[in-house]
Amino acid sequence: MPAKAKPPKTTPSPTPPPDPAPWQPSRYARLAVLGVIGVAAAVTIAFVVGKGGKSSPGTTQVKVAPIGPTLVSASGLKTLARDLGQVIYWAGPVAGDKYEVTRSTTNDVYVRYLPAGVKAGTQERKHLLIVTYPLAGALDSLVASTNRELLTVAGGKGGLAAVVRGAPTNVRVAFPNVDFEIEVFDPSPRKARHVATSAALKPVR
């Protein structure tokens, strides 16, 4: 009697990520967002900043609960930064915009400026994005890793910026005695450079 044929192996389809949780005014509801992962959007954003050959430096491998992508107002972003004790850089508020926040498990924080009507998680690569990476000795690392002209960041705090080689839409920034590197992305190289060297680039307060 011939052996019974085995059914072919199939690879199960990946379970789609859950939708981002809505933003809530309660502190505990805000912190509950930490358990929600927007995988597709996080990958898309990482691709945007990674195209320039400079994705998360990853020197400080601290594992944290991921966030988002979640849309918040300017005041919501300030509240999130305060509640989490999280250093988050941005370029200040823009009238009419919301701010899409995504945090990776390695504590990289992405803030994307989205106009009214644009949903969190959009894969459009046409919006200003500012990323904060934990990186000990960030300024020394920036100086040592680039042989291009360093730009001075306005504001008198000693910050320096460098356009990523081969990706003029991406600009890296670091400040003295600050263990974070900031990366600014904008589809307009001119705007990316302007934002990166502006005094408006600072931690959310």
Give pLDDT, residue 1: 52
How far apart are alpha carbons 100 and 119 in whole angstroms?
9
Structure token digits, residue 170: 């991406």
State how beta strands 167-174 and 160-164 pair.
Answer: antiparallel
Burial readout 179-191 (b: 16 or more C-beta within 10 A, e: otherwise): bbbbbbbbeeeee
Predicted confidence at residue 74, as pLDDT, reads: 97
User: What residues pair up with 184 in beta bridges, in sequence order?
Assistant: 130, 171
Instruction: Check residue 149 and give its pLDDT.
Output: 86
Terminal Cα distance for the chain, rounded? 77
pLDDT in the model for residue 180: 97
Q: pLDDT tens digits, residue range 146-169?
A: 888 899 999 999 999 999 999 999
Can you give the pTM of this predicted structure? 0.74
pLDDT of residue 183: 97
Distance of CA 90 to the CA centre of its chain: 10
One-letter amino acid at 93 equals: P
Predicted local distance difference test score (pLDDT) of residue 30: 30
Report, as ranges of residue numbers, the positions in the chain whose pLDDT lies below 70.
1-61
Confidence (pLDDT) at 50 = 54
170-202 confidence digits (pLDDT tens): 999 999 999 999 999 999 999 999 999 999 999
